[in-house]
């Protein structure tokens, strides 16, 4: 059986309970001689706090809990799912995939399970792949998760990056339907920019080779992000034959409130229609969009019939957008 569309039938998310405020982080870094301030972080990024996973809490654990909550919201059992895709850049292992670990924990054996690696665009990539697989008949109901423990790949001596990120997971259940659904999707990458944002480490002959911490040319990423979030939004709306005014909610990747503001301004979308979580979650990479989505669904902002534009951008360099009718 094939379907014309896939629809979101449930959302879920989880944040680790430990909150680290800017003040706490500034004090901790200061005790090690690293100078930063709450004013700098808030003014340059909009971030006020982040959630940090305790040692031993893995991406698969966060992904499993977010997935469970999305399945509960969809009133489905794990056995109803025949596809699990986890977008993550902080997998538990080199292999097996985080998705296979989630499948085991949920008790959803039998269907396909794999990870997608597109860094902060990972959820948008994973969502589009799941939609294509449902429409082609390869799957009927999919769990799509973005899960990260970025705190593990941060260099806590690099003030230019360690203040920016947090941990968490968000998930959606997608089901085949003849009603829309995902209206349009656009995915892009330009590997020529691979060096501006990366964690260039690996395991080789039993040792870590390269640099196992995140490095970033912040200004280069900032400029590219603002430009591609604008262009990919227009491209995706054109594909759906819809004007910008048809967007009820925009959920850009939550990296920096200045990037969100600039994107909204360029697209002439009022800030009141942009979901913003970067202030309280910081940048959770592939988890940021589904975390924000779940928050806006659960607090009643996103309702049946709304058009939601989700946009990702990040390392690779990768970017993409999906336009979804609820
Ligand atoms: O998820 C993937 C997508 N990632 C992003 O989208 C991140 C994009 N980039 C950004 O958000 C911004 O570029 C940053 C927030 C990373 C940096 O903001 P900026 O306005 O571009 O600052 P900058 O890198 O130009 O640095 C300005 C100054 C520098 O000092 P000097 O050279 O002017 O003396 C930095 O050393 O701010 C300094 N600085 C800090 N000062 C206090 C850098 N980090 C800090 C810090 N506290 N934590």
pTM of the model: 0.98
* Pocket flag, ligand 1, residue 137 (CB < 6 Å): no
Distance between CA atoms of residues 100 and 305, nearest Å: 33
Q: Which of 22, 51, 140, 253 is catalytic?
A: 253
Mutate to test the pocket of ligand 1, among 120, 217, 222 (most ligand atoms within 8 A of CB): 222
Q: Which residues contact 37 (CB under 8 A, 6 or more apart)?
A: 26
- CA-derived radius of gyration, the chain: 19
Chain CA centroid to CA 190, Å: 19
* Pocket flag, ligand 1, residue 130 (CB < 6 Å): no
Say what the pLDDT of residue 142 is.
98
* Pocket flag, ligand 1, residue 225 (CB < 6 Å): yes
Distance between CA atoms of residues 184 and 189, nearest Å: 17
* Nearest to 316, CA basis, from 223, 199, 235, 227: 199
Distance between CA atoms of residues 32 and 152, nearest Å: 18
Atom of ligand 1 at shortest range from CA of 162: 48
* Nearest to 160, CA basis, from 36, 281, 317, 30: 36
Residue 4: is it exposed, middle or buried by C-beta count within 10 angstroms (0-12/13-18/19+)?
exposed
Q: Copy the structure tokens of residue 248.
A: 């009820």
For residue 33, cis peptide bond before it (omega within 30 degrees of 0): no
Say what the pLDDT of residue 2 is.
82
Say what the pLDDT of residue 1 is.
74
Q: Copy the structure tokens of residue 169.
A: 């997971």
pLDDT tens across the length of the chain (326 residues)? 789 999 999 999 999 999 999 999 999 999 999 999 999 999 999 999 999 999 999 999 999 999 999 999 999 999 999 999 999 999 999 999 999 999 999 999 999 999 999 999 999 999 999 999 999 999 999 999 999 999 999 999 999 999 999 999 999 999 999 999 999 999 999 999 999 999 999 999 999 999 999 999 999 999 999 999 999 999 999 999 999 999 999 999 999 999 999 999 999 999 999 999 999 999 999 999 999 999 999 999 999 999 999 999 999 999 999 999 99
Whole-number Å distance, alpha carbon 223 to ligand 1 midpoint, is: 12
Active-site residue 268, yes or no? no
- A 10 A CB-CB count for 38 gives 16
CB 98 within 8 A of CB 86: yes
CB 11 within 8 A of CB 171: yes
Say what the pLDDT of residue 263 is.
97
Distances in Å between the Cα of 255 and the Cα atoms of 159, 208, 283, 293 are 16, 28, 5, 15
């Amino acid at each position: 059986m094939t379907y014309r569309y896939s629809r979101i039938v449930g959302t879920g998310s989880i944040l680790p309970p430990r909150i680290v405020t800017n003040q706490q982080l500034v004090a901790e870094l200061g005790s090690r001689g690293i100078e930063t301030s709450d004013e700098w972080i808030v003014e340059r990024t909009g971030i006020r706090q982040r959630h940090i996973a305790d040692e031993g809490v893995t991406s698969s654990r966060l992904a499993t809990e977010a997935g469970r909550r999305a399945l509960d919201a969809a009133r489905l059992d794990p056995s109803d799912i025949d596809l699990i895709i986890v977008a993550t850049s902080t997998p538990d292992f080199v292999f097996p995939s985080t998705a296979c670990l989630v499948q085991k924990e949920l008790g959803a054996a039998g269907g396909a399970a794999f990870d997608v690696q597109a860094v902060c665009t990972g959820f948008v990539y994973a969502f589009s792949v799941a939609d294509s697989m449902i429409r082609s008949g390869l799957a009927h109901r999919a769990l799509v998760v973005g899960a990260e423990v970025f705190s593990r790949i941060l260099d806590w001596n690099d003030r230019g990056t360690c203040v920016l990120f947090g941990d968490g997971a968000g998930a959606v259940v997608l089901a085949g339907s003849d009603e829309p659904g995902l209206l349009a999707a656009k995915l892009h990458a330009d590997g020529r920019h691979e060096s501006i944002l990366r964690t260039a480490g690996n395991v080789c002959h039993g040792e870590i080779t390269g640099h196992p911490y995140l490095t970033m040319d912040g200004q280069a990423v900032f400029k590219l992000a603002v430009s591609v979030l604008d262009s990919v939004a227009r491209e995706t709306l054109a594909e759906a034959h819809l004007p910008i005014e048809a967007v009820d909610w925009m959920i850009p990747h939550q990296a920096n409130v200045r990037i969100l503001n600039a994107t909204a301004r360029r697209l002439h979308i009022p800030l009141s229609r942009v979901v913003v979580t970067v202030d309280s979650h910081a940048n959770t990479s592939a988890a940021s969009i589904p975390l924000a989505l779940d928050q806006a669904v659960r607090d009643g902002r996103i309702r049946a019939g709304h058009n939601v534009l989700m946009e990702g951008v990040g390392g690779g360099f990768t970017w993409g957008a999906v336009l979804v009718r609820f």
